[in-house]
Amino acid sequence: MLIEHVPVPDPGGHGKPRSRFRMTAWCLPPTGAARRARGLLRDQLAGLPLAADVVDELEIVVSELATNATRYAPGPYELRLLHDHGLPVRAEVVDAGAGAALIEHLLGRSLPLPDRIDDLEVGGRGLRIVAELTHGRCGTQWTRLCGTGQLGTTVWFDLPAQP
């Protein structure tokens, strides 16, 4: 485990946490990132009331995102899980690349096209699968990597609500 972030009290002296979310992050190796991400996700979802086919689909999603990160962006790479009241609610794959606008476009969002239209021919089918398997509950944002503090890209997807 790279880091576990627990909310800190509000500096205003009220003693209330600024955020109710907890984040856990792991480094992903450049080789075998998809396998490691699948295993970590599966371990974190074990024991939750999720149907086996849902877990299988989420493993496909995290595998696709980890594969894309190592194929198209510089490292380091991270898998992050955000927890709300102890339950995982969002998964993120983070890299040190600057591909947020292209990823949003490939996910079907209405952002301006990238400068290099040739980039659209490289791929995107896997991201469309991600959008379909997550029912559109996915996206991208700029972030800082936990391990290095570098600016990078997060591709996230929300996990199904727990009953």
Residue 59: predicted pLDDT: 96
- Give the H/E segment covering residue 83: strand 77-84
Residue 107: predicted pLDDT: 63
Q: What is the CATH number of domain 19-158?
A: 3.30.565.10
**5-19: per-residue pLDDT in tens?**
544 444 555 555 556
Q: At 93, is the pLDDT very low, low, confident or very high (cuts 50, 70, 90)?
A: very high
| Domain extents in the chain | 19-158
Question: Strand, helix or coil at 97?
Answer: coil
Q: Is the pLDDT of residue 138 over 60?
A: yes
CA distances from 18 to 7, 89, 91, 141, 145 (A): 6, 18, 20, 21, 20
Mean pLDDT of 20-24: 85
The region of weakest confidence among 28-32, 38-42, 69-73, 124-128 is 124-128
Residue of 104, 68, 83 lying closest to 22 (CA atoms): 83
Residue 142: predicted pLDDT: 87
Is 139 exposed, middle or buried (CB count within 10 Å of its CB: 0-12, 13-18, 19+)? middle
